[in-house]
Amino acid sequence: MILPFIVFCPIVAALAILCGAPARRTALWAAGFTLAATLLVYFEFDAGRRGFDFVVSYPISDAWRLNFTLGVDGLSLIMLLLTAIVTFAAIWFTGPIATHEHAFHACLLLIAGGALGAFASLDLFFFYAFHELALIPTFLLIGIWGTGNRHAAAWKITIYLATGSFILLLGLIMLYRSVPDGARSFDIRALQKAAALGMIPTDAQGTIFLVLLIGFGILVSLFPFHTWAPEAYASAPAPAAMLHAGVLKKFGLYGLLRVAIPLLPQGAQQWTTLLLVLLLGNIIYIGLVTIAQKRLDWMLGYSSVMHMGYIFLGIASGTLLGMNGAAVLIFAHGISIALLFGIAGEIRQRTGTLLLSDLGGLGKIMPRAGLAFGLAAFASIGLPGFANFAGEVMVLFGAFRNGAEPYRFHIFQIATVLALWGVVISAVYMLRAYRKVFMGAMPENWSGVTDLRRSLHVPIGLLVAVTLWFGFFPQSLVRIVSPTFKSYFTQKP
């Protein structure tokens, strides 16, 4: 029963807040209980097992073979852990809300509950439905409590993600109907068995995989479907940007690893070249666009889009090492980008601007913010000692190893060499932003700016400790997620 508690604790707390419960206190307690329960699952999980653990199932419809089923394996467990950590940090980062405070905290909790439900669901219907639940409060947070051109940003993200969700729904329906009637099911475990027995026709896999790739790709901001993300994150309140960039955007990557790759392996191979070209667009083109940004929030938004390219590279590699690296990088990027957006929100709250040309010298009066932002920036760049470095190294080695041929470069080796330039690009834009914000001469009008409040030591310390721990001990994640991916390579059709 612990998984239903993890999924529904934030949702029930959100409803309680809407009914009049103290907003911030209730949200913090709900996030804390969810994190504690998720850590309990993490420490009790058998890292060597294949398949799903902590499974609970409640029948919904026998005619449709529909059940509300929750369970975790290594992949879904690290996604639950990421969601619980970022949710706790985002709610703690939330400062005073001028209007509709109860609705604001309820929206944050509903995003968390939707993400947790999507990652824990073993049924395609609820896998999709929980994600849609999380999208609705995202639009509200940007449109009501956002900054800048928030209404345009809210409409843009609504149109893009609604389109992606519709295409994804079509792909899931096509996948469901591709299985023979006797074996047809919404249960992901049943679909995995059907795929292992060769029940999903090879000639249909290419079309289905392409539809799923487009649907999931829009949700992840795969090039060229990326333009919604930077504007949305720049306009969103900092806690909302932390949750969406750190957690909810990873749903598309999780969906590819959970559904598309294991169920449609031949289809994935057909579109490998296309995926490599698109992910290089994320890494190289978006990386160069990131360098050109003149606002900190837009720079962070584009950097988040850029780093999705490395995760796609690990997924496309088709190797155990590459997929393990993709999973580690999903987790690591979620932690580092959440901290970056949290600090950026605090700077905007104190200065009223995130224009790089207007900032400077804040390290003199905001040393705690400078230290936290610097650590998060180093993690984002992929400095050794942080979890991002471990994930990127595994992705790059896993991709380079794919299709290796003597005395000549294969397409994966070419893509890997080009992707390496993204490391240089990310160092350029991140260190440039740090210099412009925290170093140099300080404008006189910032002399009254105060540093981060001491209570923020808790979420900052949590996020920094997590990325350092899994940076020094990445095997803590790899040993959990590796059995899941090993099963992908041992299924016999």
pLDDT, tens digit, 9 for 90 and up, residues 204-233: 888 999 999 999 999 998 988 888 888 888
Instruction: Give residue 453's pLDDT.
Output: 85
- Asked whether residue 468 carries a pLDDT value surpassing 90, the answer given is yes
pTM over 0.75: yes
Q: Between 357 and 481, whose confidence is greater?
A: 481
Does the pLDDT of residue 407 top 60, yes or no?
Answer: no
Average pLDDT, the chain: 88
More confident residue, 59 or 4: 4
pLDDT at site 299: 92
Is the model more confident about 79 or about 147?
A: 79
Say what the pLDDT of residue 281 is: 92
Mean pLDDT (whole number) for 8-13: 93
Confidence of residue 402 (pLDDT cuts 50, 70, 90): confident
Q: State the average pLDDT over residues 142-155.
A: 86
Which pLDDT band holds residue 280 (cuts at 50, 70, 90)?
very high
pLDDT band at 303 (very low <50, low <70, confident <90, very high): very high
Q: What is the pLDDT of residues 45-65, one digit of tens each?
A: 887 777 788 888 888 777 667
101: CB partners within 8 A, 6+ apart: 23, 24
13-34 average pLDDT score: 91
Indicate whether 101 pLDDT > 90.
no
The 10s digit of each residue's pLDDT in 309-364 is: 999 999 988 888 899 999 999 999 999 999 999 999 888 888 888 888 888 888 88
In this predicted structure, the answer to whether residue 31 has a pLDDT above a threshold of 90 is yes
Please tell me the distance from the alpha carbon of residue 227 to that of residue 214, in angstroms, as a whole number: 15
Please determine, for residue 491, whether its predicted confidence score (pLDDT) is greater than 60.
no
Whether the predicted pLDDT of 148 surpasses 80: no
pLDDT at 439: 86
Measure the CA–CA gap between 109 and 6, rounded to whole angstroms: 12
Length of the chain: 493
**What is the Cα–Cα distance from 428 to 491, expressed in whole angstroms?**
43
pLDDT of residue 489: 65
* pLDDT tens per residue, range 250-260: 999 999 999 88
Summarize pLDDT for 176-200 with one digit per residue, the tens: 888 887 777 888 888 888 888 778 8
Cβ–Cβ < 8 Å for 308, 253: yes
- What is the C-alpha to C-alpha distance for residues 91 and 210, in angstroms, rounded to an integer? 37
Mean per-residue pLDDT, 85-92: 94
Q: How high is the pLDDT of residue 369?
A: 86
**Residue 194 in tokens:** 């059907």
> What's the pLDDT score for residue 493?
38
Residue 224: cis peptide before it, omega within 30 degrees of 0:
yes
pLDDT at 451 over 90: no
> What pLDDT band is residue 408 in, cutting at 50, 70 and 90?
low
> Which tens digits make up the pLDDT trace of 419-447?
989 889 999 999 999 998 888 777 777 77
Q: In this predicted structure, what is the pLDDT of residue 404?
A: 54
Reduce the secondary structure of the chain to three states and give it as a string: CHHHHHHHHHHHHHHHHHCCCCHHHHHHHHHHHHHHHHHHHHHHCCCCCCCCEEEEEEEEECCCCEEEEEEECHHHHHHHHHHHHHHHHHHHHCCCCCCCHHHHHHHHHHHHHHHHHHHHECEHHHHHHHHHHHHHHHHHHHHHHCCCCHHHHHHHHHHHHHHHHHHHHHHHHHHHHHCCHHHCCCEHHHHHHHHHCCCCCHHHHHHHHHHHHHHHHHHHCCCCCCCHHHHHHHHCCHHHHHHHHHHHCHHHHHHHHHHHHHHCHHHHHHCHHHHHHHHHHHHHHHHHHHHCCCEHHHHHHHHHHHHHHHHHHHHHHCCHHHHHHHHHHHHHHHHHHHHHHHHHHHHHHHHCCCEHHHCCCHHHCCHHHHHHHHHHHHHHHCCCCCHHHHHHHHHHHHHHHCCCECCECCHHHHHHHHHHHHHHHHHHHHHHHHHHHHCCCCCHHHCCCCCCCHHHHHHHHHHHHHHHHHHHCCHHHHHHHHHHHHHHHHCCC
